[in-house]
Amino acid sequence: MRELADDAVVLRTYRYREADRIAVLFTRHHGKVRVLARGARKTTSRLGGALEVLGHVGVDLVATRGELYVARHVAHRSTLPTLRGDYARIGAGYAVVEALDALPEGLADEAVYELAVRVLTTLDNPDYRPDLVPASFYLRLLALDGSAPMVEACVECGREAPLVAFDAEGGGVRCDRCRRGRALTDEGLALLRRVLGGDLATVLREADPPGAAEVSALAHEAAEAHLGRPLRALRSLTGAPGAEGAPGR
């Protein structure tokens, strides 16, 4: 019987049989795994309270003959009270875990796991606004994969100005001669460079920085192009945890 002990972020859960629950986790050392929590939907269950979407947990699991692990023990690594008490932060978190859930099965990447935990910690910090957290996460995820968009010069010809468009499929900004993709303003370009260039903490403290809507939209498009599937949670971000496209609970 193979046992597995790891830390994880809970991406998605759904009901199984009368009292059980299946959870999809992104673990530090084993990538994405699916876990059966027997009796988790019972009011007396200790598993159910910890296996919630956006949970940061430690798990003790046992492998089965199929693709599922069975949960023996689950405990919070952090309870994230600020995140869980704010609909906008929950909605931003859903947009993040949806992208994690789009990653291939069997991908074990500790850097991605650490990024996900930093995002949860950021969303739990009242000093940081949640609006641009999903966009910054998408862009950092691309950077970890070696696919960060080119933002200093035209991705086609290398001209540094004027840069007027963002091409998600092409992997970066374009000049007026090579224009293709989404129109990009000077404010959007400046903010994009700040997010990718090390000024993210300051950006997340600002209320509605110029270009925020543009950066959210282009980061979303870039992530969808990279992952090869639509990401619905950001589109349906209304602040309500039950918004369409949110992970199951």
Q: Secondary structure of 228-247 in the HEC alphabet?
A: CCCCHHHHCCCCCCCCCCCC
3-class SS of residue 220: helix
Alpha carbons 203 and 212: distance in angstroms, whole number = 10
Intervals of CATH 1.20.1440.120 along the chain: 84-235
Q: Return the structure tokens found at 213.
A: 């809507």
Alpha carbons 234 and 211: distance in angstroms, whole number = 17
Alpha carbons 246 and 249: distance in angstroms, whole number = 9
Please name the CATH architecture into which domain 3-78 falls.
Answer: Beta Barrel (2.40)
Task: Give pLDDT tens digits for 71-124.
Answer: 999 999 999 999 999 999 999 999 999 999 998 877 789 999 999 999 999 999
Q: Return the structure tokens found at 218.
A: 């282009």
Alpha carbons 90 and 238: distance in angstroms, whole number = 10
Percent of the chain residues past pLDDT 70, beyond the cut: 92
CB proximity list for 190: less than 8 A, separation 6 or greater: 210, 211
Strands 20-27 and 3-16: antiparallel
Task: Give pLDDT tens digits for 126-181.
Answer: 999 999 999 999 999 999 988 999 999 999 999 999 999 999 999 999 999 999 99
Q: Return the structure tokens found at 152.
A: 């200093």
- Picking from 213, 232, 4, the residue whose alpha carbon sits closest to that of residue 108 is 4
CATH class of 84-235: mainly alpha
What band does 65 get if pLDDT is binned at 50, 70 and 90?
A: confident
Intervals of CATH 2.40.50.140 along the chain: 3-78
Task: Give pLDDT tens digits for 210-219.
Answer: 999 999 999 9
Q: What is the DSSP letter of 80?
A: -
